[in-house]
Structure 1
Amino acid sequence: MSGGSALLDRLGDRLAGLRGRITPDAAMDKITWFRAGGTADALFQPADEDDLSAFLKSVPREVPVTVVGIGSNLLVREGGIRGFVVRLSAKGFGEAKAIGENRIEAGAATPDKRVAAVALEAGLGGFHFYHGIPGGIGGALRMNAGANGVETRERVVEVRALDREGERHVFSNAEMGYAYRHSSAPGNLIFTSAILAGEPAPREEIRAAMDAVQHHRETVQPIREKTGGSTFKNPEGTSAWKEVDAAGCRGLMIGGAQMSPMHCNFMINTGTATGYDLELLGETVRARVLENSGIRLEWEIKRIGDFKPGHEVDEFLGQML
C-alpha cells in the first residue's frame, strides 16, 4: 500500500464532509515551476477558509501538514513529503478586489501579477512591483517578497490566517515581524488573505511603472525557463549574483541543473534536472562563494521534503562553518 493510501485509510471517517479535493500520492513535479521533485503522501486543496479550518481540526496533530503556494519558489526533494501538502485553491482563495479607500483585499492564492492588475484598474499606486514577481500573495506575505525597491511589508495592513488547530487569527503589519525576505509570524500559520494599501496615482503612471518592471525582467532574467526565481538572498552590502559570478559559477551545471548564464542568481532546470541536481548545484555554489569571499549565501528558494537515500546534500557541501 502506498504512503498516501495508508494515510487516508488511517484517518478514515475523520475526513468525511470535507468539500475540497484530496489527491493521494500527489506528484509534486506537476506543481513546482522547476518541474522536479518527489511525491507527497496526500495533497489537499480546500474549497474555502471554512473547509480548510475543518480539515485542520480533523487531522491529528502528529500528521505533518506542509503548505505550498503556486510552486514558483519551491524545491521538493526526491524522497517526497510525508503527511499532507495543502495547496489553496484558486477558486476559494484566488480573488482580489478593491475595497474601501485605497485598499485591496487579496486571497493568499492570488497571483502577485493579478494584484498589480487590480491596483491598476483601481488607480492605486505602489503595487507595480508585484507585476514582476512570479508568485502568489501567500508566499509574498510569508517571505516579504519584493522587487524594484518595494517590499510587501510596505503594503500590508492586516493578514488573516489559520493555525494548525484550524483557529482563525488576524495579524497587523507590526505583528508580522517583517525583515528582508522574512516574516517572524509563526511557521505553522496558513495565510488565507490580506488587506493591502496603496496610494492614488494616475493610471498612465502605474502602467508605465508596470511596463518598466516587465521590460527589466525580460531583459535580465531567464523568465521562459523552468526556474525558481532568485536562488539566494542578497547578502548585506552586495548582491548575490555578484558573489556567484565572482566565484566562477555563472553557467555552472550539475546534471540537468544550471546557474543561468543570463542571470547567475537564477537556477534553471535545463530539462532533466532532479531535485537532487538542483540542491547539489545550490550547495556547490554556496561552498564556492564561501571559499572565494567568506560570504555565506542564504537560500531564498524554499526546500522541502525528504532526501532520497543516497542523494543527501549537506549545507555548503559539509564545509566547516
Structure 2
Amino acid sequence: MADPRGLATLPPIRGRVQQAAPLAPFTWFRVGGPAEWLVRPADMDDLLLLLRDLPDQVPLAVIGAASNLIIRDGGVRGVVLRLAGKGFGDIVLEDDGIIAGAAALDAVVAEHAAAAGLAGLEFLSGIPGAVGGAVAMNAGAYGAEVKDVLDWAEVATPRGLLRLTAAEFGFAYRKAVLPTRGVVARARFRARPGQPAAIAVRMAEIRAAREATQPVRARTGGSTFKNPPGEKAWALVDVAGCRGLVRGGAQVSEKHTNFLLNLGSATAADIEGLGEEVRARVLASSGITLEWEIQRIGEVMP
C-alpha cells in the first residue's frame, strides 16, 4: 500500500510511539478524535532525531498541557508530538531566574520561584498550561506576559537546537514566531530577589481571583477569544446576549463569558460551533470580529 505521507518511515526514536492514540484524555475539554501517530520523545536528543528525520510531507502538530486547545472529532493526521516526563519537565533555580522544561506547568514554575524567594513570576500561577505553550503563544495574565520575563528559549528544529532571545520570537499579543517545525524545549525566565511573604500574598490573590471569576473546576479551555484592541472579549460576548448560551453539550459559561464549557456530553463540533455562533452574534451586535485564542487542530467529522 502506498504511504504518501511517509508514516511507515518514522524515525526509530527511543521514546513512545503510539498509533491511533486517543487524544481527548489529554485535553482540558476532554473531547476530540485520535492522533494518527502520537509520539513522546524520551529526551532532547530523541526530539532532535525525530525532527531531523521526520519526512517533510508528514504533518506535525505539538500539544502540551492541552489547556487551550480543541482537537476536532475526526482526529489529527500525521504526527502529534507531546513533550512530557523527566526529559522535559526539569526546573532549575538560579540566583536571578529559573530554567524550566517545556512540559513544566506554569503554576509549578511560579511555585518554585516563590519558594526560592524569586519575584516577578507570580503571574504564571494564573496561566493554566505548560512552559512550551506559554512561550509559543506569549501567554499572559494579571498584567504580565511571557515576553516581559523571558531571557531565552531553546527551540528544537529539523536543523538542530536553537537558543533564541525574547526579541527573536517577534512577540505580539498571544503570538510568537517560531522557526518552521520548531518546538519549544525549555526556557529561562528572569526574576528578582523578593520577600517570600509578599510573593505568597500575590500568588494567593491570583488564585482567589481565578476562583472567584473563572470556571476553574469545569471542563473548559481557558480564554476562548483574544481581547480586541481597547475591548474585553467577555464584555462583548455578554452584550451580545451569549451568557449561558448552549449548543449540544457545550455552553458559554455563566460565570465568565469568555469561557466555553463541556457540560459532559459535548463533542468538539459542539464546542467549536458554539464559539462560531458567539463570534457571529458579537459581530452582529458590535461590528467586531472576535479572534480565537483557543487553538483548534485536526479534522472535522464528515
Give me the whole-angstrom Cα distance separating, in 2, the residues matched to 1:204 and 1:121. Answer: 10
Q: Tell me which residue corresponds to 1:87.
A: 82
Contact 1:52 1:166 in 2 (8 A): no
Q: Distance in 2 between matches of 1:285 and 1:149?
A: 26
Partner of 2:45: 50
Q: Does 1:256 align with 2:259?
A: no
* 8 Å Cα contact 1:55-1:166 kept in structure 2: no
Question: 2-side partners of 1:116 and 1:223: how far apart?
Answer: 18
Residue 238 of structure 1, aligned match among 231, 237, 240: 231
Residue 113 of structure 1 corresponds to: 107
Q: Are residues 1:128 and 2:122 paired?
A: yes
TM-score for the superposition, normalised by structure 2 = 0.96
Query: Runs of 4 or more off by more than 3 Å in structure 1?
Result: none
1:272 and 2:265 matched = yes
Taking the aligned partners of 1:64 and 1:49, their CA distance within structure 2 comes to: 20
Question: 1:209 maps to which residue?
Answer: 202
Q: Which consecutive unaligned segments of at least 5 residues does structure 2 have?
A: none
Instruction: Report what 1:247 is aligned to.
Output: 240
From 202, 212, 227, the equivalent of 2:220 is 227
Counterpart residue type for residue 223 of structure 2: S
Query: What do residues 220-279 of structure 1 show as CA deviations (whole Å, max 9, x unaligned)?
Result: 100000000000011111100000000000000100011100001000100001010010
- The percentage of counterpart residues that share the same residue type is 47
Shift of 1:90: 2.3
- Counterpart of 2:17 in structure 1 is 22
Secondary structure, aligned partner of 1:153: helix
Distance 2:210 2:259 in 1: 12
Structure 2 Cα separation of the partners of residues 135 and 108 of structure 1: 10
Gaps of 5+ in 1: 310-321
Answer yes or no: is the 8 Å Cα contact 1:113–1:133 preserved in 2.
Answer: yes
Residues in 1 aligned to 2:91 and 2:115: alpha-carbon distance in whole angstroms: 12
Q: Please name the residue that 1:162 is paired with.
A: 156
1:187 CA drift (Å): 5.2
Letter in 2 for 1:19: R
Map of 1:173 onto structure 2: 166
Structure 1 contact 7–83 (Cα < 8 Å) conserved: no
1:153 and 2:147 equivalent? yes
Q: CA deviation at 1:188?
A: 2.2
Aligned partner of 2:195: which letter?
P
Which amino acid counterpart does residue 120 of structure 1 have in structure 2?
A: A
Separation (CA, whole Å) in 2 of partners of 1:271 and 1:7 = 37
Secondary structure, in 3 states, of the residue corresponding to 2:200? helix
